[in-house]
Structure 1
Amino acid sequence: MIITSNVTKNYGAACVVDGVSLQLPQGGITSIIGPNGAGKSTLLSMVSRLMAMDMGTVTVGGLDVTKAPSDELARRLSILRQDNHMTARLTVRDLVAFGRYPHSRGRLTLDDKVHIDRAIDYLDLGLLADRFLDELSGGQRQRAFVAMVLAQDTDYLLLDEPLNNLDMKHAMGMMKLMRQAADDLGKTVVLVLHDINFASWYSDHIVAMKHGKVAAQGAASAMIRPDVLSGIYEMDIKVHEIGGQLISVYYG
Protein backbone atom coordinates (compact mmCIF):
# COMPACT_ATOMS: atom_id res chain seq x y z
CA MET A 1 0.00 0.00 0.00
CA ILE A 2 1.10 3.57 -0.70
CA ILE A 3 0.40 5.91 2.22
CA THR A 4 0.97 9.66 2.17
CA SER A 5 0.53 11.74 5.30
CA ASN A 6 0.25 15.54 5.16
CA VAL A 7 2.50 15.70 2.08
CA THR A 8 3.20 19.31 1.14
CA LYS A 9 5.26 21.07 -1.51
CA ASN A 10 5.75 24.82 -1.86
CA TYR A 11 7.37 26.85 -4.62
CA GLY A 12 7.99 30.20 -2.99
CA ALA A 13 4.64 31.54 -1.84
CA ALA A 14 2.70 29.02 -3.98
CA CYS A 15 1.55 25.80 -2.30
CA VAL A 16 1.46 23.21 -5.10
CA VAL A 17 0.58 20.19 -2.95
CA ASP A 18 -1.24 21.08 0.23
CA GLY A 19 -1.27 18.53 3.06
CA VAL A 20 -2.29 15.49 1.01
CA SER A 21 -3.04 12.34 3.01
CA LEU A 22 -3.96 9.20 1.08
CA GLN A 23 -4.04 5.45 1.38
CA LEU A 24 -3.86 4.08 -2.14
CA PRO A 25 -5.14 0.50 -2.34
CA GLN A 26 -2.82 -2.44 -2.87
CA GLY A 27 -3.16 -3.91 -6.35
CA GLY A 28 -5.25 -2.71 -9.26
CA ILE A 29 -5.11 0.65 -11.01
CA THR A 30 -5.40 4.00 -9.28
CA SER A 31 -5.72 7.03 -11.55
CA ILE A 32 -5.01 10.57 -10.37
CA ILE A 33 -7.06 13.09 -12.32
CA GLY A 34 -7.73 16.82 -12.12
CA PRO A 35 -7.17 20.07 -13.99
CA ASN A 36 -3.76 21.42 -14.95
CA GLY A 37 -1.87 22.78 -11.96
CA ALA A 38 -3.74 20.58 -9.49
CA GLY A 39 -0.49 19.06 -8.16
CA LYS A 40 -0.89 15.58 -9.65
CA SER A 41 2.58 15.17 -11.12
CA THR A 42 4.24 16.88 -8.15
CA LEU A 43 2.56 14.44 -5.77
CA LEU A 44 3.69 11.45 -7.85
CA SER A 45 7.26 12.82 -7.92
CA MET A 46 7.32 13.06 -4.13
CA VAL A 47 5.90 9.55 -3.72
CA SER A 48 8.73 8.24 -5.91
CA ARG A 49 11.40 10.39 -4.18
CA LEU A 50 12.21 12.26 -7.37
CA MET A 51 11.28 15.44 -5.52
CA ALA A 52 11.78 16.32 -1.86
CA MET A 53 8.79 17.06 0.34
CA ASP A 54 8.61 20.23 2.38
CA MET A 55 6.46 18.40 4.90
CA GLY A 56 4.88 14.99 5.41
CA THR A 57 5.76 11.32 4.99
CA VAL A 58 5.34 8.69 2.29
CA THR A 59 5.57 4.93 2.70
CA VAL A 60 5.49 2.45 -0.16
CA GLY A 61 4.96 -1.16 0.83
CA GLY A 62 6.06 -0.24 4.34
CA LEU A 63 9.23 1.56 3.20
CA ASP A 64 9.70 5.19 4.17
CA VAL A 65 10.78 6.68 0.83
CA THR A 66 12.95 9.33 2.49
CA LYS A 67 14.94 6.74 4.46
CA ALA A 68 14.98 3.59 2.34
CA PRO A 69 18.24 2.75 0.53
CA SER A 70 18.01 3.71 -3.13
CA ASP A 71 18.63 0.20 -4.44
CA GLU A 72 15.95 -1.28 -2.17
CA LEU A 73 13.41 1.37 -3.20
CA ALA A 74 14.24 0.84 -6.89
CA ARG A 75 13.45 -2.85 -6.56
CA ARG A 76 10.09 -2.00 -4.99
CA LEU A 77 8.96 1.02 -7.02
CA SER A 78 9.46 2.25 -10.59
CA ILE A 79 8.34 5.50 -12.18
CA LEU A 80 7.91 6.90 -15.66
CA ARG A 81 8.14 10.68 -15.72
CA GLN A 82 6.58 13.03 -18.26
CA ASP A 83 9.89 14.42 -19.47
CA ASN A 84 11.94 11.48 -20.66
CA HIS A 85 15.02 12.58 -22.56
CA MET A 86 18.02 10.49 -23.49
CA THR A 87 21.11 12.23 -24.83
CA ALA A 88 22.97 8.97 -25.50
CA ARG A 89 22.22 7.19 -28.77
CA LEU A 90 20.57 4.01 -27.55
CA THR A 91 18.58 1.24 -29.13
CA VAL A 92 15.21 0.25 -27.73
CA ARG A 93 16.78 -2.88 -26.24
CA ASP A 94 19.54 -0.83 -24.59
CA LEU A 95 16.96 1.45 -23.01
CA VAL A 96 14.79 -1.39 -21.73
CA ALA A 97 17.89 -3.03 -20.25
CA PHE A 98 18.34 0.01 -18.00
CA GLY A 99 15.25 -1.17 -16.15
CA ARG A 100 17.22 -4.14 -14.87
CA TYR A 101 20.01 -2.04 -13.31
CA PRO A 102 18.63 -2.20 -9.73
CA HIS A 103 18.81 -6.00 -10.01
CA SER A 104 21.90 -6.57 -12.15
CA ARG A 105 24.08 -3.50 -11.50
CA GLY A 106 24.90 -3.52 -15.19
CA ARG A 107 25.90 -7.17 -15.39
CA LEU A 108 22.94 -8.71 -17.17
CA THR A 109 22.06 -12.29 -16.36
CA LEU A 110 19.88 -14.72 -18.28
CA ASP A 111 17.02 -13.82 -15.96
CA ASP A 112 17.50 -10.13 -16.76
CA LYS A 113 17.35 -10.90 -20.48
CA VAL A 114 14.10 -12.79 -19.97
CA HIS A 115 12.58 -9.70 -18.32
CA ILE A 116 13.89 -7.46 -21.10
CA ASP A 117 12.49 -9.65 -23.87
CA ARG A 118 9.16 -9.99 -22.06
CA ALA A 119 8.81 -6.23 -21.65
CA ILE A 120 9.66 -5.65 -25.32
CA ASP A 121 7.03 -8.19 -26.34
CA TYR A 122 4.42 -6.69 -23.97
CA LEU A 123 4.80 -3.32 -25.67
CA ASP A 124 4.83 -4.82 -29.18
CA LEU A 125 8.33 -3.48 -29.81
CA GLY A 126 9.92 -6.62 -31.22
CA LEU A 127 10.41 -5.20 -34.71
CA LEU A 128 11.87 -2.01 -33.23
CA ALA A 129 14.15 -3.56 -30.61
CA ASP A 130 17.36 -2.79 -32.49
CA ARG A 131 16.30 0.63 -33.75
CA PHE A 132 17.77 3.77 -32.19
CA LEU A 133 15.44 5.91 -30.09
CA ASP A 134 16.01 8.97 -32.28
CA GLU A 135 14.71 6.99 -35.24
CA LEU A 136 11.33 6.37 -33.60
CA SER A 137 8.13 8.36 -33.48
CA GLY A 138 7.12 10.01 -30.20
CA GLY A 139 4.59 7.27 -29.51
CA GLN A 140 7.11 4.51 -30.17
CA ARG A 141 9.62 6.14 -27.82
CA GLN A 142 6.94 6.42 -25.15
CA ARG A 143 6.23 2.70 -25.42
CA ALA A 144 9.97 1.99 -25.13
CA PHE A 145 10.18 3.95 -21.89
CA VAL A 146 7.17 2.10 -20.51
CA ALA A 147 8.89 -1.17 -21.44
CA MET A 148 11.93 -0.06 -19.44
CA VAL A 149 9.73 0.54 -16.39
CA LEU A 150 8.00 -2.80 -16.85
CA ALA A 151 11.35 -4.61 -17.12
CA GLN A 152 12.28 -3.23 -13.71
CA ASP A 153 9.70 -5.69 -12.36
CA THR A 154 8.63 -3.76 -9.26
CA ASP A 155 5.52 -4.26 -7.15
CA TYR A 156 4.56 -0.60 -7.69
CA LEU A 157 4.45 1.14 -11.08
CA LEU A 158 3.99 4.91 -11.13
CA LEU A 159 3.41 6.53 -14.51
CA ASP A 160 3.01 10.25 -15.08
CA GLU A 161 0.82 10.82 -18.14
CA PRO A 162 1.88 7.61 -19.91
CA LEU A 163 -0.54 8.30 -22.79
CA ASN A 164 1.42 11.36 -23.96
CA ASN A 165 2.23 11.23 -27.68
CA LEU A 166 0.11 8.11 -28.20
CA ASP A 167 -2.68 7.89 -30.76
CA MET A 168 -6.03 6.38 -29.77
CA LYS A 169 -5.04 2.84 -30.74
CA HIS A 170 -1.79 2.83 -28.76
CA ALA A 171 -3.32 4.72 -25.83
CA MET A 172 -5.93 2.00 -25.52
CA GLY A 173 -3.25 -0.63 -25.86
CA MET A 174 -1.25 1.05 -23.11
CA MET A 175 -4.22 1.05 -20.74
CA LYS A 176 -4.94 -2.59 -21.53
CA LEU A 177 -1.32 -3.36 -20.73
CA MET A 178 -1.59 -1.59 -17.38
CA ARG A 179 -4.78 -3.53 -16.67
CA GLN A 180 -2.98 -6.76 -17.53
CA ALA A 181 0.00 -5.84 -15.35
CA ALA A 182 -2.35 -5.24 -12.43
CA ASP A 183 -4.53 -8.31 -12.96
CA ASP A 184 -2.08 -10.93 -14.22
CA LEU A 185 1.20 -9.79 -12.67
CA GLY A 186 -0.19 -8.47 -9.37
CA LYS A 187 1.23 -4.97 -9.83
CA THR A 188 -0.05 -1.85 -8.08
CA VAL A 189 -0.33 0.74 -10.86
CA VAL A 190 -0.71 4.46 -10.17
CA LEU A 191 -1.27 6.74 -13.16
CA VAL A 192 -1.63 10.47 -13.70
CA LEU A 193 -4.20 10.79 -16.48
CA HIS A 194 -5.88 13.67 -18.28
CA ASP A 195 -8.31 11.53 -20.23
CA ILE A 196 -11.31 10.94 -17.96
CA ASN A 197 -12.72 8.27 -20.27
CA PHE A 198 -9.61 6.11 -19.96
CA ALA A 199 -9.61 6.68 -16.20
CA SER A 200 -13.24 5.63 -15.96
CA TRP A 201 -12.90 2.48 -18.04
CA TYR A 202 -9.67 1.06 -16.63
CA SER A 203 -9.34 2.31 -13.04
CA ASP A 204 -10.33 0.56 -9.85
CA HIS A 205 -9.80 3.68 -7.76
CA ILE A 206 -9.70 7.35 -8.76
CA VAL A 207 -8.20 10.28 -6.86
CA ALA A 208 -9.24 13.74 -8.05
CA MET A 209 -7.05 16.71 -7.15
CA LYS A 210 -7.83 20.41 -7.30
CA HIS A 211 -5.73 23.36 -6.10
CA GLY A 212 -3.16 21.03 -4.54
CA LYS A 213 -5.65 19.12 -2.42
CA VAL A 214 -7.61 15.89 -2.77
CA ALA A 215 -11.03 17.03 -3.94
CA ALA A 216 -12.59 13.56 -4.00
CA GLN A 217 -11.63 9.91 -4.23
CA GLY A 218 -13.31 6.56 -4.50
CA ALA A 219 -14.24 3.74 -6.83
CA ALA A 220 -14.57 4.68 -10.49
CA SER A 221 -18.33 4.17 -10.36
CA ALA A 222 -18.62 6.72 -7.55
CA MET A 223 -16.23 9.25 -9.12
CA ILE A 224 -17.35 9.31 -12.74
CA ARG A 225 -20.50 11.27 -12.06
CA PRO A 226 -21.54 14.67 -13.44
CA ASP A 227 -21.87 16.29 -10.02
CA VAL A 228 -18.40 15.13 -8.94
CA LEU A 229 -16.54 15.89 -12.18
CA SER A 230 -18.23 19.23 -12.87
CA GLY A 231 -17.16 20.51 -9.47
CA ILE A 232 -13.58 19.37 -9.93
CA TYR A 233 -13.13 20.81 -13.42
CA GLU A 234 -15.47 23.79 -12.95
CA MET A 235 -17.30 23.10 -16.18
CA ASP A 236 -20.36 21.22 -17.34
CA ILE A 237 -19.47 17.54 -17.68
CA LYS A 238 -21.95 14.87 -18.69
CA VAL A 239 -21.75 11.11 -18.36
CA HIS A 240 -23.36 8.96 -21.04
CA GLU A 241 -24.85 5.72 -19.75
CA ILE A 242 -26.96 3.01 -21.34
CA GLY A 243 -28.77 0.69 -18.97
CA GLY A 244 -26.60 1.85 -16.10
CA GLN A 245 -23.40 1.03 -18.02
CA LEU A 246 -20.98 3.94 -18.42
CA ILE A 247 -20.29 4.64 -22.09
CA SER A 248 -18.40 7.92 -22.18
CA VAL A 249 -17.69 11.23 -20.48
CA TYR A 250 -18.15 14.37 -22.54
CA TYR A 251 -18.22 18.12 -22.12
CA GLY A 252 -21.03 20.42 -23.04
Structure 2
Amino acid sequence: MITLRSVRKSYGDEVRIGPLNIEIPKAGITSLIGPNGAGKSTTLLMIGRLLNMDEGQIRVANMDVARSRSNDIAKILTILRQENHFITRLTVRQLVGFGRFPYSRGRLTKEDEAIISKYIGFFELTDLEHRFLDELSGGQRQRAYVAMVLCQETEYVLLDEPLNNLDIARSVQMMEHLRRAANELGRTILMVLHDINFAARYSDRICAMKNGQIAAFGTVEDIMKPDLLSDIFETKIEIIKGPYGKIAVY
Protein backbone atom coordinates (compact mmCIF):
# COMPACT_ATOMS: atom_id res chain seq x y z
CA MET A 1 0.00 0.00 0.00
CA ILE A 2 1.06 3.60 -0.68
CA THR A 3 -0.04 5.94 2.11
CA LEU A 4 0.15 9.74 2.18
CA ARG A 5 -0.62 11.54 5.44
CA SER A 6 -0.88 15.35 5.55
CA VAL A 7 1.65 15.71 2.71
CA ARG A 8 2.33 19.29 1.62
CA LYS A 9 4.60 20.97 -0.92
CA SER A 10 4.82 24.67 -1.74
CA TYR A 11 6.53 26.63 -4.50
CA GLY A 12 6.50 30.21 -3.32
CA ASP A 13 3.19 31.85 -2.48
CA GLU A 14 1.28 30.82 -5.60
CA VAL A 15 1.65 27.04 -5.87
CA ARG A 16 0.59 24.90 -2.92
CA ILE A 17 -0.01 21.17 -2.99
CA GLY A 18 -1.82 19.41 -0.18
CA PRO A 19 -2.58 18.46 2.40
CA LEU A 20 -2.73 15.09 0.61
CA ASN A 21 -4.28 12.16 2.46
CA ILE A 22 -4.80 8.93 0.55
CA GLU A 23 -4.27 5.17 0.72
CA ILE A 24 -3.56 3.49 -2.62
CA PRO A 25 -4.00 -0.30 -2.40
CA LYS A 26 -1.32 -2.63 -3.68
CA ALA A 27 -1.68 -4.45 -7.00
CA GLY A 28 -3.22 -3.21 -10.21
CA ILE A 29 -3.00 0.18 -11.92
CA THR A 30 -3.87 3.51 -10.35
CA SER A 31 -3.86 6.56 -12.61
CA LEU A 32 -3.45 10.18 -11.52
CA ILE A 33 -5.50 12.49 -13.73
CA GLY A 34 -6.33 16.19 -13.68
CA PRO A 35 -5.64 19.47 -15.48
CA ASN A 36 -2.16 20.90 -15.95
CA GLY A 37 -0.78 22.25 -12.70
CA ALA A 38 -3.01 20.05 -10.55
CA GLY A 39 -0.01 18.55 -8.74
CA LYS A 40 0.02 15.07 -10.33
CA SER A 41 3.71 14.85 -11.23
CA THR A 42 4.77 16.59 -8.02
CA THR A 43 2.84 14.03 -6.00
CA LEU A 44 4.39 11.15 -7.95
CA LEU A 45 7.91 12.57 -7.52
CA MET A 46 7.40 12.97 -3.77
CA ILE A 47 6.27 9.34 -3.49
CA GLY A 48 9.35 8.32 -5.50
CA ARG A 49 11.62 10.44 -3.26
CA LEU A 50 12.86 12.50 -6.18
CA LEU A 51 11.30 15.58 -4.59
CA ASN A 52 11.24 16.43 -0.92
CA MET A 53 7.93 17.20 0.73
CA ASP A 54 7.62 20.13 3.10
CA GLU A 55 5.40 18.35 5.60
CA GLY A 56 3.74 15.00 6.19
CA GLN A 57 4.63 11.36 5.75
CA ILE A 58 4.70 8.97 2.81
CA ARG A 59 4.89 5.22 3.34
CA VAL A 60 5.32 2.58 0.64
CA ALA A 61 4.96 -1.06 1.67
CA ASN A 62 5.09 0.24 5.26
CA MET A 63 8.49 1.89 4.69
CA ASP A 64 8.86 5.59 5.47
CA VAL A 65 10.06 7.01 2.15
CA ALA A 66 11.83 9.99 3.71
CA ARG A 67 13.66 8.03 6.42
CA SER A 68 14.52 4.72 4.76
CA ARG A 69 17.87 4.00 3.16
CA SER A 70 18.10 4.51 -0.58
CA ASN A 71 19.24 0.92 -1.14
CA ASP A 72 16.20 -0.40 0.71
CA ILE A 73 13.76 1.89 -1.14
CA ALA A 74 15.29 0.88 -4.49
CA LYS A 75 14.24 -2.72 -3.87
CA ILE A 76 10.56 -1.92 -3.37
CA LEU A 77 10.02 1.19 -5.49
CA THR A 78 11.16 2.42 -8.89
CA ILE A 79 10.20 5.55 -10.82
CA LEU A 80 10.48 6.77 -14.40
CA ARG A 81 10.37 10.52 -14.96
CA GLN A 82 9.19 12.33 -18.06
CA GLU A 83 12.68 13.62 -18.82
CA ASN A 84 15.24 10.91 -19.43
CA HIS A 85 18.85 11.89 -19.98
CA PHE A 86 20.51 8.60 -20.78
CA ILE A 87 23.40 8.56 -23.20
CA THR A 88 21.94 7.80 -26.60
CA ARG A 89 24.84 5.51 -27.52
CA LEU A 90 23.66 2.96 -25.03
CA THR A 91 22.11 -0.17 -26.47
CA VAL A 92 18.67 -1.33 -25.41
CA ARG A 93 20.22 -4.17 -23.44
CA GLN A 94 22.63 -1.84 -21.65
CA LEU A 95 19.79 0.51 -20.73
CA VAL A 96 17.53 -2.25 -19.41
CA GLY A 97 20.51 -3.60 -17.47
CA PHE A 98 20.59 -0.43 -15.37
CA GLY A 99 17.49 -1.78 -13.67
CA ARG A 100 19.65 -4.40 -11.97
CA PHE A 101 22.01 -1.87 -10.37
CA PRO A 102 20.45 -1.98 -6.85
CA TYR A 103 21.32 -5.68 -6.77
CA SER A 104 24.42 -6.04 -8.94
CA ARG A 105 26.14 -2.69 -8.36
CA GLY A 106 27.29 -2.89 -11.98
CA ARG A 107 28.57 -6.48 -11.84
CA LEU A 108 25.89 -8.41 -13.67
CA THR A 109 25.52 -12.10 -12.81
CA LYS A 110 24.01 -14.82 -14.97
CA GLU A 111 20.80 -14.37 -13.00
CA ASP A 112 20.82 -10.64 -13.77
CA GLU A 113 21.36 -11.34 -17.47
CA ALA A 114 18.42 -13.74 -17.47
CA ILE A 115 16.19 -11.12 -15.81
CA ILE A 116 17.30 -8.50 -18.36
CA SER A 117 16.41 -10.88 -21.20
CA LYS A 118 13.04 -11.56 -19.57
CA TYR A 119 12.01 -7.91 -19.66
CA ILE A 120 13.44 -7.26 -23.09
CA GLY A 121 11.24 -10.11 -24.28
CA PHE A 122 8.23 -8.94 -22.26
CA PHE A 123 8.32 -5.59 -24.07
CA GLU A 124 8.96 -7.20 -27.46
CA LEU A 125 12.42 -5.68 -27.82
CA THR A 126 14.46 -8.82 -28.43
CA ASP A 127 15.16 -7.99 -32.08
CA LEU A 128 16.29 -4.50 -31.00
CA GLU A 129 18.36 -5.29 -27.91
CA HIS A 130 21.70 -4.48 -29.57
CA ARG A 131 20.46 -1.31 -31.25
CA PHE A 132 21.46 2.07 -29.84
CA LEU A 133 18.77 4.27 -28.30
CA ASP A 134 19.19 6.96 -30.95
CA GLU A 135 18.42 4.35 -33.61
CA LEU A 136 14.97 3.63 -32.16
CA SER A 137 11.59 5.20 -32.74
CA GLY A 138 10.01 7.14 -29.91
CA GLY A 139 7.70 4.26 -29.05
CA GLN A 140 10.53 1.71 -29.05
CA ARG A 141 12.66 3.95 -26.85
CA GLN A 142 9.83 4.46 -24.37
CA ARG A 143 9.30 0.70 -24.15
CA ALA A 144 13.01 0.31 -23.40
CA TYR A 145 12.80 2.85 -20.57
CA VAL A 146 9.79 1.11 -19.03
CA ALA A 147 11.50 -2.27 -19.45
CA MET A 148 14.41 -0.84 -17.46
CA VAL A 149 12.26 0.18 -14.49
CA LEU A 150 10.40 -3.14 -14.48
CA CYS A 151 13.74 -4.94 -14.64
CA GLN A 152 14.44 -3.50 -11.18
CA GLU A 153 11.75 -5.97 -10.07
CA THR A 154 10.19 -3.75 -7.45
CA GLU A 155 6.63 -4.32 -6.32
CA TYR A 156 5.80 -0.64 -6.84
CA VAL A 157 6.36 1.10 -10.18
CA LEU A 158 5.81 4.85 -10.65
CA LEU A 159 5.53 6.28 -14.17
CA ASP A 160 5.28 9.98 -14.98
CA GLU A 161 3.33 10.31 -18.24
CA PRO A 162 4.52 7.09 -19.91
CA LEU A 163 2.47 7.99 -23.01
CA ASN A 164 4.21 11.32 -23.50
CA ASN A 165 4.99 11.93 -27.21
CA LEU A 166 3.46 8.61 -28.28
CA ASP A 167 0.84 8.37 -31.02
CA ILE A 168 -2.43 6.53 -30.41
CA ALA A 169 -1.22 3.16 -31.68
CA ARG A 170 1.97 3.26 -29.61
CA SER A 171 -0.01 4.48 -26.58
CA VAL A 172 -2.35 1.51 -26.83
CA GLN A 173 0.65 -0.81 -27.15
CA MET A 174 2.27 0.69 -24.05
CA MET A 175 -0.89 0.46 -21.97
CA GLU A 176 -1.39 -3.16 -23.01
CA HIS A 177 2.14 -3.95 -21.78
CA LEU A 178 1.52 -2.18 -18.48
CA ARG A 179 -1.80 -3.96 -17.99
CA ARG A 180 0.01 -7.26 -18.52
CA ALA A 181 2.71 -6.24 -16.04
CA ALA A 182 0.07 -5.59 -13.41
CA ASN A 183 -1.86 -8.78 -14.16
CA GLU A 184 0.91 -11.27 -14.89
CA LEU A 185 3.80 -9.91 -12.83
CA GLY A 186 1.75 -8.67 -9.88
CA ARG A 187 3.11 -5.13 -10.03
CA THR A 188 1.49 -2.12 -8.37
CA ILE A 189 1.65 0.64 -10.97
CA LEU A 190 0.95 4.29 -10.19
CA MET A 191 1.10 6.58 -13.21
CA VAL A 192 0.31 10.10 -14.33
CA LEU A 193 -1.93 10.18 -17.41
CA HIS A 194 -3.37 13.12 -19.33
CA ASP A 195 -5.87 11.10 -21.32
CA ILE A 196 -9.00 10.31 -19.28
CA ASN A 197 -10.04 7.54 -21.65
CA PHE A 198 -6.75 5.65 -21.42
CA ALA A 199 -7.04 5.92 -17.64
CA ALA A 200 -10.61 4.60 -17.75
CA ARG A 201 -9.79 1.76 -20.15
CA TYR A 202 -6.74 0.34 -18.37
CA SER A 203 -6.86 1.40 -14.71
CA ASP A 204 -8.27 -0.31 -11.66
CA ARG A 205 -8.49 2.98 -9.76
CA ILE A 206 -8.31 6.67 -10.64
CA CYS A 207 -7.14 9.54 -8.45
CA ALA A 208 -8.36 12.90 -9.80
CA MET A 209 -6.48 16.02 -8.70
CA LYS A 210 -7.31 19.71 -8.97
CA ASN A 211 -5.55 22.78 -7.58
CA GLY A 212 -3.07 20.71 -5.59
CA GLN A 213 -5.78 18.68 -3.89
CA ILE A 214 -7.19 15.19 -4.30
CA ALA A 215 -10.62 15.91 -5.73
CA ALA A 216 -11.79 12.29 -6.00
CA PHE A 217 -10.43 8.77 -5.66
CA GLY A 218 -12.12 5.50 -6.49
CA THR A 219 -12.84 2.90 -9.11
CA VAL A 220 -13.25 3.80 -12.77
CA GLU A 221 -17.00 3.61 -12.27
CA ASP A 222 -16.76 6.06 -9.36
CA ILE A 223 -14.77 8.66 -11.31
CA MET A 224 -16.23 8.44 -14.83
CA LYS A 225 -19.16 10.71 -14.07
CA PRO A 226 -19.90 13.79 -16.19
CA ASP A 227 -20.51 16.24 -13.34
CA LEU A 228 -17.39 15.17 -11.47
CA LEU A 229 -15.09 15.33 -14.50
CA SER A 230 -16.61 18.58 -15.77
CA ASP A 231 -15.87 20.19 -12.41
CA ILE A 232 -12.30 18.87 -12.25
CA PHE A 233 -11.38 19.91 -15.80
CA GLU A 234 -13.60 23.02 -15.84
CA THR A 235 -15.13 22.13 -19.19
CA LYS A 236 -18.24 20.23 -20.18
CA ILE A 237 -17.59 16.50 -20.36
CA GLU A 238 -20.14 13.89 -21.31
CA ILE A 239 -19.85 10.17 -20.71
CA ILE A 240 -20.97 7.61 -23.26
CA LYS A 241 -20.79 3.83 -23.17
CA GLY A 242 -18.37 2.32 -25.65
CA PRO A 243 -17.45 -1.30 -26.42
CA TYR A 244 -14.68 -1.24 -23.79
CA GLY A 245 -16.44 0.77 -21.10
CA LYS A 246 -17.24 4.39 -20.44
CA ILE A 247 -15.73 7.10 -22.68
CA ALA A 248 -15.34 10.79 -21.88
CA VAL A 249 -16.37 13.14 -24.67
CA TYR A 250 -15.26 16.78 -24.51
Q: Distance in 1 between matches of 2:247 and 2:220?
A: 13
Identity of paired residues, percent?
A: 52
Q: Distance in 1 between matches of 2:143 and 2:88?
A: 18
Report matched runs for 1:185-200 at 5 Å. 185-200=185-200
Q: Is 1:91 aligned to residue 91 of structure 2?
A: yes
Contact persistence 1:209–1:232 (CA under 8 A): yes
Give, as a single letter, the amino acid of the residue that structure 2 aligns with 1:78.
T
Give, as a single letter, the amino acid of the residue that structure 1 aligns with 2:43.
L
Q: Distance in 2 between matches of 1:247 and 1:4?
A: 29
Aligned CA RMSD, in angstroms, stands at: 1.4
Q: Is 1:250 aligned to residue 249 of structure 2?
A: yes
Give, as a single letter, the amino acid of the residue that structure 1 aligns with 2:249.
Y
Report matched runs for 1:101-180 at 5 Å. 101-180=101-180
SS in 1 for 2:200: helix
Q: Distance in 2 between matches of 1:241 and 1:134?
A: 41
Shift of 1:248: 2.1
Contact persistence 2:200–2:246 (CA under 8 A): no
Stretch moving more, 114-123 or 234-243: 234-243
Q: Distance in 1 between matches of 2:242 and 2:30?
A: 25
Q: Distance in 2 between matches of 1:201 and 1:242?
A: 10
Q: Distance in 2 between matches of 1:6 and 1:198?
A: 29
Stretch moving more, 108-117 or 95-104: 108-117
Contact persistence 1:142–1:165 (CA under 8 A): no
Shift of 1:193: 0.3
Q: Distance in 1 between matches of 2:226 and 2:88?
A: 46
Aligned length: 250
Stretches of 4+ moved more than 6 A in 1?
A: none
Give, as a single letter, the amino acid of the residue that structure 2 aligns with 1:240.
I
Give, as a single letter, the amino acid of the residue that structure 2 aligns with 1:101.
F
Map of 1:217 onto structure 2: 217
Contact persistence 2:88–2:134 (CA under 8 A): no
CA change 1:242–1:180 in 2 (3 A) is closer
Q: Distance in 1 between matches of 2:87 and 2:222?
A: 44
Q: Distance in 2 between matches of 1:242 and 1:186?
A: 28
Q: Distance in 2 between matches of 1:186 and 1:220?
A: 20
Q: Distance in 1 between matches of 2:154 and 2:113?
A: 16
Give, as a single letter, the amino acid of the residue that structure 1 aligns with 2:112.
D
Give, as a single letter, the amino acid of the residue that structure 1 aligns with 2:108.
L
Q: Distance in 2 between matches of 1:99 and 1:137?
A: 21
TM-score (norm 2): 0.96
Q: Distance in 1 between matches of 2:17 and 2:246?
A: 32
| Structure 2 unaligned blocks of 5 or more | none
Q: Distance in 2 between matches of 1:93 and 1:38?
A: 36
Cα distance per residue 1:12-66 (max 9 Å; x no partner): 1133412111100111110000000000000000001000011111000010011
Cα distance per residue 1:98-145 (max 9 Å; x no partner): 000011111111111111111111111112111111222222211111
Q: Is 1:31 aligned to residue 7 of structure 2?
A: no
TM-score (norm 1): 0.95
